[in-house]
Amino acid sequence: MDDVERAVAALRAGEPVLLPTDGVYGLCADGDNEVAAHALYALKGRDATKPSALIAATIETLFDRLPELDPWSRAIVAAVLPGSYTLVLPNPAERYPWLNGPKTDAIAIRVASVSAATQRVLDAVGVVVATSANEPGEPAATSLDEVPARIRAGCGAEIESARLSGEASTVIDFTAADPIVLREGAGSSAAAIARAAGALAELPPR
């Protein structure tokens, strides 16, 4: 069994794993498993009211998991992703409430550009919930050596990677009439908003 197979097996067993994303190391769990998500929060020491992103293997996988996404949200996703972005979108069916904090009618989603090994894991499990693999308030880990020992010890598997950039994704909230940049990161927020606006211009008004 190689590292990818071990990571897939651990996720399916409800265990957290360490995966390199497109900027920092992620502490991940099976996104469809509420118990696993709560365990991830406990291991990180993350406030349960803080939302975490759902990373999907592909845009098609994301649309399958969130079938109620309206045409405008789907157009934004198709225009901006994959890439170094986290998009906050309306979540009318309140899916994945264990990831969304008190605002369950919104959800943070990603389709990231990741390593081949991480992509194989995502392809096998579909979606993971992810938060940065560091102590709360501390710098994000760019290598496995920078992940705190207690977090590594609590994980069922890990994927080795070359040192990552350390740049987190850019977070943009598209739930209101005008997009709001919640965090500047690796992706250009101006470029993403422009692409989204171009895609929405092709649709009838809401």
pLDDT string in tens for the chain (206-residue length):
799 999 999 999 999 999 999 999 999 999 999 999 999 999 999 998 999 999 999 999 999 999 999 999 999 999 999 999 999 999 999 999 999 999 999 999 999 989 999 999 999 999 999 999 999 989 999 999 999 999 999 999 999 998 999 999 999 999 998 999 999 999 999 999 999 999 999 888 77
Strand order in the sheet with 106-110: 157-158, 17-20, 25-30, 127-132, 53-56, 106-110, 85-90, 170-173, 180-183
Asked if 167 and 113 count as a contact pair (C-beta separation under 8 A), the reply is no
Q: Name the CATH superfamily housing domain 3-200.
A: DHBP synthase (3.90.870.10)
Instruction: Quote the CA–CA distance of 52 and 169 in Å, as a whole number.
Output: 12
Q: In the chain, where are the structural domains located?
A: 3-200
pLDDT (0 to 100) of residue 181 = 98
- Angle, helix 3-12 to helix 116-125, in steps of 10 degrees: 30
Q: Which residues of 73-109 are buried (b: 16+ CB within 10 A; e: fewer)?
A: bbbbbebbbbbbbbbbbbbeeebbebbbeeebebbbb
One-character DSSP codes across 32-83: T-HHHHHHHHHHHT--TTS--EEEESSHHHHHHH-TT--HHHHHHHHHH-SS
Contacts of 32 (CB under 8 A, 6+ apart): 65, 126, 127
